[in-house]
Structure 1
Amino acid sequence: MGLGDEQIYEELKSVLFTDNAISSEAAAIAMGLVMLGSGSESSAHDMFTYAQETQHETIIRGLAIGIALISYGKEDSAEDIIEKLLGHQDSILRYGGCFTLALAYCGTSNNSAIQRLLHIAVSDSSDNVRRAAVLSLGFVLLRDFSTVPTIVELLSQSHNPHVRYGTTMALGISCAGRGLQAALDVLEPLLKDPVDFVRQGATIAKSMILIQQNENTHPKVKEFRASLRKIVSNKYEESLAKFGGAIAQGILDAGGRNSTIQLENTQTNTLNMKAIVGLTLFTQSWYWFPLSHFFALSLSPTSIIGVTDNLKAPKFNINCHTKPDFFGYPPKAEAQVEKQAEKIATAVLSTTARAKARAAKKDKTVKKEDKMDIDEPSTTEKENTKESKGDEISNVELQDSQYKSLYVKEPYQFQNMTRVLPAQLKYVTFSKHERFVPVRKFKGMSGIVVLNDQSPGKSFDRIKTIREKGNTEAPLPDPFTIDPVLDKELFENDNE
């Protein structure tokens, strides 16, 4: 991907020319992936020409998406191919034109690109093209994600279900991993939409926004997870909505809840090309659901991995100035207890029933005579219980204010190679008194961090890899020298 190798490109082109509906479509997408972001005019021309010659819709669609990948980040230099695609009479090529426009101006918030996509979203004759136009807004507005809910709010109320689906994915792409409440407010009514594939898009988009959120950072996560379980287990639910619920569950738990969607590298203020490509091809699962596996490309591990100059991971502690449980893992789903079968009541004769009733009357008279005098609770005790219940309610209401004052002076510590969420990074600091400190210090560092050893030469405990843990052979000894004065016995044996 992105290698731009002409030999690989030519081999894929020979597969494309076989005109097989399945393998040629795969070759078309692969050609776009190999020439990703190259802006090659000859490649785009070849693919556009063959798209007009073939009769297979799948191949045309694959070529259109391939051209979009070639035009990634090219902005004005991709205008020629964008105009050809958007002005074509074939709706599939216009569909590809929307994605070409989106990837060429990805993350730029270009006004011209936004206006053209909005115009296509309300005027094109093809539902597929209108859906792609609305969806593409999410890519163009990646860096200005907070404005997307305002822009697509009216489109989310459109009479056309394809436009409504496009709004869900535009919100999911632009606000992925952000937990933006305004985006969730727009998605809320679409979760109950009468059309099944709109509900599918809404559930997937909401899970993309709420990825790596727990009840502390966003209180409605537990409720959303419960609703997903109902969608998947409900046998009367439509298959498309069920599929969306299953995908949404997988997104929430992606990478063992140790990964998130990061389309923008916040440390360097650059776009994550691999993640953007992954979501672009993930949206093509509308036509063939196995393409949803491309979603894995958009995931980034959320952890701090400190390594030395020889790529060894030492054991050392890192400070976090928050409460330990605030950014923790969500609790595991409770196991459902199987209900035991109720026993069938046995038949009772009338004579035994009368005898039991007479015995029960005798017991009641005896209990009334022997009843002890018990003091009733006082009014003050009742008031105290009411006050305690009132305190519990107020604690729930104060969660938002606790989040704002999250910083604590006395931090807790966690070890190297530990899960750290993006929202947690601003509270993470490296101790100056530790042996290992980062070579380059900057705010919000994450991922692989190169460490400086302040006590070189001394041995240290390090975190072993899986291969090292599985290695049962004896380790090689450390380098050593023999001193003739100290090791006399060795030399005496040699002389003999």
Structure 2
Amino acid sequence: MVSQSSAAGVLALLQEPEPLLKEHALKSLNTLVPRFWAEISEQIELIEALYESPELPKSAHDAAALLASKVYYYLGEYDEALSFALNAGAAFADEGRTAGAEEYVETVISKAIDRYVEERSKVSSGEGDKIDAKLQGIIESILNRCIQDGEYKQAVGIALESHRLDMIANIYHKANDVGLLSYAMDAVLETGFSLSYRDEILKFLLPLFPPLSVTDRSPHVHALTRLLVTLSIPDLTVPLLTSLVPKEKLVAYQLAFDLVEGGAQDFLEGLRTKLPEGDEETKPIYDRLREILGGQESVKLYLEFLKRNDKTDPLILKHSKDFLEARSSMYHTALTLQNAFMHAGTTSDTFLRENLEWLALASNWSMFSATAALGVIHKGHFNEGMNILGPYLPQDGGADSGVPGAAYSEGGALYALGLINAGCGSGRQVDEYLRNALKSTQNEIVRHGAALGLGIAGMGGKNTEAYEELKQTLFDDSAVSGEGAGYAMGLVMLGTADAGCAEEMLMYARETQHDKIIRGLSIGLAFIFYGRQEQADKMIGELLGEKDPILRYGGVYTLALAYAGTGNNAALRRLLHIAVSDTSDDVRRAAVTSLAFLLFKNPSQVPRIVQLLSESYNPHVRCGATLALGIACAGTGLQDAVDILEPMTKDVIDFVRQGAFIALGMVLVEQSEASSSAIASVRTSYNKIIGNKHEDPMARFGAAVGQGFIDAGGRNVTITLQSRAGTRNTSAIVGMALFCQFWYWYPLAHCASLAFEPTGIIGLDGDLKAPKFEFISNVRPSHFAYPAPMKPPKKETVTKVAAAVLSTTAKAKARERKKAAAEGEAMDTDEKEKEKKDGDIEMKSTETEKHGDVSPLTGSLSNLAESTLPEPTFERLPNFSRVTPAQMIHVTFPRDGRYQPVRAVSTYRTSKTASGLVTGERYAGGGGILILNDQKPDEEPDYIEFTTQAVPTPAERTPESVRRPHIALDENAPEVGPPEAFEYPFEDDA
């Protein structure tokens, strides 16, 4: 071990005139720097002089440069350390192989990449002449070494950071692994690259992907889908689709269905219009592709899936109804939301029709919400949407009916119509109908519903006519209708970053005196800049610098939605700073909640980030932490999130408890008792809180909504902000952003249904029909089973109390039995052997042990107790079965089966760990609509018959008391008098 005095002796050699001694000293000191860098730093000027000395050989120059670089590294002067490392030549290259120098080398390389990127950017923009040759040399040497060592992913990462796309192509061709392209794409989509560079990389990667084919089950369909949806450029997507027609039409159909999952309306509409008409052979295929890209086919299939598999437990709703007082508008809305979420997409309005008296108790905005709930229940029921809502919609061309209270049901129906056609209304009749409804009435309630419906149906459609109609509604300066118009204007122009629209909306928000309108416009601005990253920075800066806290609130959501799903570190730091520093509680709560929109692709990071925030002294910050956990960790069952949320259900502040109950429902949706230990206790807690009339109303509201989430969609949907391919799910993100506004406006809570993703396998053949087949889930059936139905409460029965027997009586009877036994006589109290009847089977004890119990009535063997049989390790499931996301990785198709999917059921993707490293993991993002390749086309297929969409008649669906709520709650009706006096005939009482 080298002592300090020995190090000083080596330093003294630097003063020797002999060049060989100096070189020896320099090389020796390089190994001593980690321990004696402080002493060596005192001689830094001498070391630099030796580096420049012409008397020393090149090897000594390199050693001096490396030594100076190390000293500056330990002094924290990283730029100087990099400059000397670049001049160290071979000495720095050899240092990479030296044990214990890893941290120094990694830091210098990181700085080298940063400087290289900076210089390349200057050259590209014309501000610089050329890149330092030494700097370029060190980057290329690093890349070449990674390739030689087989560290291809590390090489791809460095190439991405250094903007060397040519090296990515070289790495891919050398490794011949398409997974590297997916890795590169994931890395650029989930890190802080600029929007322009991101698009440049994706356009470069697209032609590198190999052709899609049925024979290899196209393992990279998901990757291509993510790439194409992210770019959203029809001119790049159409050639890929046409290249698959007609030889690979099954893959073309699969790609089209996958594009619909995450694609925006204008992108899908662009694909439909740009697809060629085709010739006699290909025209039917292109027509089918246009039908799929319209979006309605996917929604119809999921509608059928949800209706077939509806496992809603009616006793849960009955329990809530029995304990939540219907005359309280808050409780009525809570049960309305619970029922809507539990039946979302199932088309089952049984609960409403069986509880018409309860429904009729709704008044004013409760009636608005109750009617809008039909849109959640019938979401996607395009063909019958107008018929279902017909009795509630405005009559006589939208003119005011003059009936008190009717405006609430009419406005709610227009909102419901938008929810039914969510994301698919642009360019269809519903869009025109809603615009006409907006123009033809002056009632602010009806216009509010029409505006919300128009925005949701035309989400991302960029319909300028709809935008202008909404703008005129805004300029009327009505608080109620103006708020709806503000939200809707942003929805229609979703993700456009249109500067003109943004300027108009911001200007009006600054001028109006209505807080409702300001809030609607501020969230609408966030929608306009959805996904635009650095292009939104200017607007974000303006909004966050406003004095009005509502506009700062909008700035927080603009920041969150602009960088949604990117995990951008700068955006995260900004939100965290706002969460602890803003003067407005609303802004601070929004900042914490918005963390979820940035991090939903890496949910395991969120509990660690919000742990301290969940313990804040400020209840609004704690409330924001609950929603952040709920949204980001939705459907994961993540125990770390549950561990934070469960104690918060006992918080001293009511709205914090409310948020915790709602968040638990999101996190635990589609979790079974076998997969999550918390599910049973949470369900019990919901029932207890809802049933406790002394509990705070806000907590009971949260428990009801949380229970709706945990059993959403008939227990066949999950909540997720990304599509199966891993792209951002635009509808879901928008829906959750609107749901968060329920704090101010309960009707917006219905928008959470936009984030409901049906979880199942829906197989279609080449004719887009659903054949009957089975696939295998290689896991115990109980592990992902539906929850057991709620048991009805047991009726208490009165049991007779046993008669008291005196001890003297018992002794007397004992003496009599003893005497009778001595005489051999049978006493009446003894049991007599029953006579054997004809038809009874006498079973020996050995047979009973072998076969189980025997029925005393028929003599047949009863079923063995389930606990005595070992549970199978797999199960066969038919087409249109529920398969939860966690279960998807266990699903396989039998190799000898007739139908095989054209893409993998589940796939691999990469994700960032808590430390920031990008690693590979199994991604359960498959399932959904699968196109199947028929291995036995000569055999006659057996198809599933879709259930008929039975729609109740208007008379069954809309009694007059529901259509006109004022009749049920007529404040002017005379009070009922007391009953007449009477006398009870006590003398006749037996």
Report the alpha carbon displacement of residue 439 of structure 1 after superposing the two structures with TM: 2.0
Q: Say if 2:636 is the partner of 1:178.
A: yes
Amino acid at match of 1:454: Q
Report the alpha carbon displacement of residue 308 of structure 1 after superposing the two structures with TM: 1.3
Amino acid at match of 1:174: A
Residue from 471, 490, 493 that aligns with 1:32: 490
Amino acid at match of 1:418: S
User: Cα distance 1:360–1:27, how it changes in 2: closer, same or farther (>3 A)?
Assistant: same
Q: CA–CA distance in 1 between the matches of 2:648 and 2:713?
A: 27
In the alignment, which residue of structure 2 is the partner of 1:362? 812
In the alignment, which residue of structure 1 is the partner of 2:677? 219
User: Cα distance 1:93–1:342, how it changes in 2: closer, same or farther (>3 A)?
Assistant: farther
Q: CA–CA distance in 2 between the matches of 1:366 and 1:11?
A: 101
Q: Say if 2:880 is the partner of 1:417.
A: yes
Amino acid at match of 2:939: K
In the alignment, which residue of structure 2 is the partner of 1:313? 770
User: Cα distance 1:365–1:47, how it changes in 2: closer, same or farther (>3 A)?
Assistant: farther
Query: Which stretches in structure 1 are left out of the alignment for 5+ residues?
Result: 372-405, 471-496
* Contact kept in structure 1, 2:523 and 2:558, CA below 8 Å: yes
Amino acid at match of 1:324: P
Q: Within 5 Å, give how 1:235-274 maps onto structure 2.
A: 235-266=693-724, 268-274=725-731
Q: Say if 2:893 is the partner of 1:437.
A: no
Q: Say if 2:613 is the partner of 1:137.
A: no
Residue from 596, 600, 609 that aligns with 1:151: 609
In the alignment, which residue of structure 1 is the partner of 2:464? 6
Amino acid at match of 1:458: E
Q: Within 5 Å, give how 1:46-445 maps onto structure 2.
A: 46-266=504-724, 268-340=725-797, 358-363=808-813, 411-441=874-904, 443-444=906-907, 445=926
Q: Deviations over 1:138-193 (max 9, x none)?
A: 11111222111111111111111100000000111111111111111111221110
* Contact kept in structure 2, 1:281 and 1:291, CA below 8 Å: yes
Amino acid at match of 2:681: E
Q: CA–CA distance in 1 between the matches of 2:819 and 2:557?
A: 87
Report the alpha carbon displacement of residue 116 of structure 1 after superposing the two structures with TM: 1.0
Report the alpha carbon displacement of residue 361 of structure 1 after superposing the two structures with TM: 4.7
Moved more, 331-340 or 44-53: 331-340
* Contact kept in structure 1, 2:781 and 2:872, CA below 8 Å: no
Amino acid at match of 1:242: R
In the alignment, which residue of structure 1 is the partner of 2:933? 452
Moved more, 219-228 or 460-469: 460-469
User: Cα distance 1:153–1:435, how it changes in 2: closer, same or farther (>3 A)?
Assistant: same
User: Cα distance 1:88–1:323, how it changes in 2: closer, same or farther (>3 A)?
Assistant: same
Q: Secondary structure at the match of 2:674?
A: coil
Amino acid at match of 1:447: G
Q: Secondary structure at the match of 2:484?
A: helix
Q: CA–CA distance in 2 between the matches of 1:314 and 1:270?
A: 29
Q: Secondary structure at the match of 2:694?
A: coil
Amino acid at match of 1:294: C
* Contact kept in structure 2, 1:263 and 1:298, CA below 8 Å: yes
Structure with greater proportional helix content: 2
* Contact kept in structure 2, 1:196 and 1:241, CA below 8 Å: yes
Amino acid at match of 1:187: L
Q: Secondary structure at the match of 1:192?
A: coil
Q: CA–CA distance in 1 between the matches of 2:896 and 2:586?
A: 59
Q: Deviations over 1:460-492 (max 9, x none)?
A: 21111123999xxxxxxxxxxxxxxxxxxxxxx
* Contact kept in structure 1, 2:642 and 2:678, CA below 8 Å: no
User: Cα distance 1:339–1:453, how it changes in 2: closer, same or farther (>3 A)?
Assistant: same
Report the alpha carbon displacement of residue 112 of structure 1 after superposing the two structures with TM: 1.1
Q: CA–CA distance in 2 between the matches of 1:37 and 1:238?
A: 40
* Contact kept in structure 1, 2:559 and 2:571, CA below 8 Å: yes
Report the alpha carbon displacement of residue 407 of structure 1 after superposing the two structures with TM: 11
Q: CA–CA distance in 1 between the matches of 2:542 and 2:518?
A: 14
Q: Secondary structure at the match of 2:768?
A: coil
* Contact kept in structure 2, 1:254 and 1:260, CA below 8 Å: yes
User: Cα distance 1:17–1:215, how it changes in 2: closer, same or farther (>3 A)?
Assistant: same
User: Cα distance 1:429–1:235, how it changes in 2: closer, same or farther (>3 A)?
Assistant: same
Q: CA–CA distance in 1 between the matches of 2:694 and 2:657?
A: 15
Q: CA–CA distance in 1 between the matches of 2:889 and 2:872?
A: 10
Q: CA–CA distance in 2 between the matches of 1:300 and 1:369?
A: 80
* Contact kept in structure 2, 1:407 and 1:427, CA below 8 Å: no
Q: CA–CA distance in 1 between the matches of 2:931 and 2:680?
A: 37
Q: CA–CA distance in 1 between the matches of 2:653 and 2:638?
A: 25
Report the alpha carbon displacement of residue 458 of structure 1 after superposing the two structures with TM: 3.3
* TM-score (ref. length: structure 1): 0.82
User: Cα distance 1:360–1:87, how it changes in 2: closer, same or farther (>3 A)?
Assistant: same
> Which structure would you say has the larger Rg?
2
User: Cα distance 1:365–1:296, how it changes in 2: closer, same or farther (>3 A)?
Assistant: farther
Q: Deviations over 1:4-52 (max 9, x none)?
A: 1111110111111111111111111111111111111111111111101
Q: Secondary structure at the match of 1:466?
A: coil
Q: CA–CA distance in 2 between the matches of 1:163 and 1:218?
A: 27
- Matched positions, count: 426
Q: CA–CA distance in 2 between the matches of 1:299 and 1:418?
A: 17
Q: Secondary structure at the match of 1:206?
A: helix
Amino acid at match of 1:413: R
* Contact kept in structure 2, 1:109 and 1:141, CA below 8 Å: yes
In the alignment, which residue of structure 1 is the partner of 2:502? 44
Q: CA–CA distance in 2 between the matches of 1:341 and 1:115?
A: 65
Q: CA–CA distance in 2 between the matches of 1:364 and 1:207?
A: 64
Q: CA–CA distance in 2 between the matches of 1:230 and 1:370?
A: 59
CA-based RMSD: 2.4
User: Cα distance 1:22–1:468, how it changes in 2: closer, same or farther (>3 A)?
Assistant: closer
Amino acid at match of 2:775: I
In the alignment, which residue of structure 1 is the partner of 2:68? none
* TM-score (ref. length: structure 2): 0.42
Q: Name the structure, 1 or 2, with higher relative contact order (CA <8 Å, separation 6+).
A: 2
In the alignment, which residue of structure 2 is the partner of 1:393? none
State the 4+ residue runs in structure 1 displaced beyond 4 angstroms: 355-358, 364-371
Report the alpha carbon displacement of residue 70 of structure 1 after superposing the two structures with TM: 1.0
Q: CA–CA distance in 2 between the matches of 1:150 and 1:468?
A: 47
In the alignment, which residue of structure 2 is the partner of 1:488? none
User: Cα distance 1:133–1:333, how it changes in 2: closer, same or farther (>3 A)?
Assistant: same
Q: Secondary structure at the match of 1:277?
A: helix
User: Cα distance 1:455–1:50, how it changes in 2: closer, same or farther (>3 A)?
Assistant: same
Amino acid at match of 2:470: L
Amino acid at match of 2:887: Q
Q: CA–CA distance in 2 between the matches of 1:116 and 1:341?
A: 66
Report the alpha carbon displacement of residue 323 of structure 1 after superposing the two structures with TM: 1.4
Q: Deviations over 1:414-433 (max 9, x none)?
A: 11110001111111111222
* Contact kept in structure 2, 1:321 and 1:407, CA below 8 Å: no
* Contact kept in structure 2, 1:156 and 1:167, CA below 8 Å: yes
Moved more, 331-340 or 415-424: 331-340
Q: Percent identity?
A: 50
Report the alpha carbon displacement of residue 134 of structure 1 after superposing the two structures with TM: 0.6
